[in-house]
Amino acid sequence: MKKVVITGMGVVTPVGSTLEKFWNALLNGQSGLNLATKVDRDKYPVKVVGEVKDYNPENFMSKKEVRRMDLFVQYAVGAAAMAIQDAKLDMKAVNADRVGCVIGSGIGGLNTLQEQHRILLEKGPDRVSPFFIPMMIADMASGMVSIINGAKGPNFACVSACASSAHALGESLKLIRYGEADVMISGGAEATICDMGMAGFCSARAMSMRFDPPSKSSCPFDKKRDGFVMGEGAGIIILESEEHALARGARIYAEFCGAGYSSDAYHMTAPAEGGEGAARAIRAALASAQLGPETVDYINAHGTSTELNDKNETAAIKTVFGQRAYDINISSTKSMVGHLLGASGSVELIASALSLQNGVVPPTINYEDPDPDCDLNYTPNTAVKRDIKVAISNSFGFGGHNACLVLRKT
């Protein structure tokens, strides 16, 4: 079984669309959340989202290509280009048949669906774009990244709501471990800040209605939390077998050593009581990594700022780690970037890799009013230096999908 390492990373997020901007924002506790501008917020009880503000798709593709891609695909293509550049991966120098691409998206091209439905109603079926279906379907991020970069290995998408990109990375880990690929371009992308996305999540009463100030709307593990804040963006990671990375002299961020999955088999949107399913995913991930609970120093929590997730995730952590749970640094970077839905797992694994490499735990901002049900060390409000040898990242999705990923310092 081959060792798998991270050699490149690229991000498009509400706090910045370069690794440097992203990491500096996290360390400084900088919020990327603000009043929505992509929808008429006066129509909704929810006012705050995490919009990407500094991304120009034409830096990565032609105007013609932009018109033929939904925004989530544009984000994925840009993040993949940055990750490939960060890894110094020359696609012409590697065996393209051994380079794969697995990118997850929880919802896919919702903006395209909304716009083409409007055209259907207003102008008739013959005016619907011939690119409607390929622009909308969730696998097109993986497809276009593969096409643009000439990656001819395994290529597919994972769709498991907010665990989509974590599952994509876990499947990519397996493909390299068992010799089916040398390199995987993997992660997730999402772009759902549009009327359909806002209306759907508002109707589900899943999002925070606090907005004064917007930067405090997401407050994971805090007693006053009242829902998640929807974000958008992408996180793409270059994974390689260790031997392939060393052979080309690549810089290695961390070893990607484990992935574990489970299902709550409980409820459409609510987590299982006591975080029972989440605990099984964490244990499965540690078993995959051949590591014990005593080795974990940092947990990048799913930490959505919803009442049920945060207390049940806390319970799951206590179940797996026992009394040692109080000695582990935990943080929710969603407090700053919002919930990137299907892209959250990959963006959070990037944050975890940077934490491990730099020996710094990013904070959970807006943690001001402790909740008795959430009594662990959530690294409140200020980044903390810590020698991190093992980090895990949790992702849980509607439908009871749970995934946990494990990184180890090299």
* Reduced 3-state DSSP string for 200-266: HHHHCCCECCCCCCHHHCCCCCECCCCCECEECEEEEEEEEEHHHHHHCCCCCCEEEEEEEEEECCC
pLDDT tier at 46 (50, 70, 90 boundaries)?
Answer: very high
Let me know if 194 is a catalytic residue: no
263: amino acid identity, one letter: S
> What mean pLDDT is predicted for residues 101-115?
98
Q: Which helix (H) or strand (E) holds 328?
A: none
The answer to whether the Cα torsion of 185, 297, 251, 335 is positive or negative is positive
To the nearest 10 degrees (0 to 180), the angle between helices 71-86 and 140-149 is 40
How many Cα atoms occupy the beta-carbon half-sphere of 367 within 13 Å? 30
> For residue 394, what pLDDT is reported?
98
Burial string for 323-358 (b: 16+ CB within 10 Å, else e) reads eebeebbbbbbbbbbbbbbbbbbbbbbbbbbbbbbe
**Size (the chain), residues:** 410
**Which are the contacts of 84, defined by CB distance < 8 A and separation ≥ 6?**
8, 10, 91, 149, 185, 238
> For residue 96, what pLDDT is reported?
97
How far apart (Å, rounded) are the C-alpha atoms in residues 201 and 350? Answer: 26
Please tell me which residue in 101, 158, 162, 194 is annotated as part of the active site.
162
**pLDDT tens-digit profile of 346-365?**
999 999 999 999 999 999 99
> For residue 65, what pLDDT is reported?
95
pLDDT tier at 326 (50, 70, 90 boundaries)?
Answer: very high
CA angle 64, 67, 68 (to 5 degrees): 90
How far apart (Å, rounded) are the C-alpha atoms in residues 192 and 197? Answer: 5
Supply the CATH classification number for the domain 1-394. 3.40.47.10
> For residue 26, what pLDDT is reported?
98
**pLDDT tens-digit profile of 210-235?**
999 999 999 999 999 999 999 999 99
Give the CA distances from residue 10 to residues 85, 347, 388, in Å, rounded to whole numbers and listed in that order: 9, 9, 22
> For residue 303, what pLDDT is reported?
98
Whether the CB-CB separation of 139 and 106 falls below 8 Å is answered with: no
> For residue 114, what pLDDT is reported?
98
Q: Which helix (H) or strand (E) holds 268?
A: none
CA angle 204, 210, 212 (to 5 degrees): 155
**Percent residues over pLDDT 90 in the chain:** 100
Retrieve residue 77's tokens. 């293509």
Helix ranges, 97-220 (H): 110-123, 132-136, 140-149, 164-177, 195-203
Domain boundaries, the chain: 1-394
How far apart (Å, rounded) are the C-alpha atoms in residues 100 and 98? Answer: 6
How far apart (Å, rounded) are the C-alpha atoms in residues 76 and 66? Answer: 12
Give the CA distances from residue 389 to residues 149, 255, 334, 408, in Å, rounded to whole numbers and listed in that order: 33, 10, 23, 6
From the number of C-beta atoms within 10 Å of its C-beta (0-12, 13-18, 19+), residue 219 rates as: buried
> For residue 405, what pLDDT is reported?
98
**What is the maximum alpha-carbon separation in the chain?**
63
Give me the chain's average pLDDT, please: 97
Closest to 254 in 3D by CA, of 218, 221, 298, 211: 298
How far apart (Å, rounded) are the C-alpha atoms in residues 286 and 280? Answer: 10
Torsion angle of the four alpha carbons 284, 76, 136, 152, in this order, in degrees rounded to the nearest 10: -80
> For residue 310, what pLDDT is reported?
98
Please confirm whether the linkage preceding 213 is cis (ω < 30° from 0). yes
pTM (2 d.p.): 0.97
**pLDDT tens-digit profile of 62-86?**
999 999 999 999 999 999 999 999 9
How far apart (Å, rounded) are the C-alpha atoms in residues 304 and 285? Answer: 21
> What mean pLDDT is predicted for residues 173-179?
98
**Percent residues over pLDDT 70 in the chain:** 100
pLDDT tier at 129 (50, 70, 90 boundaries)?
Answer: very high
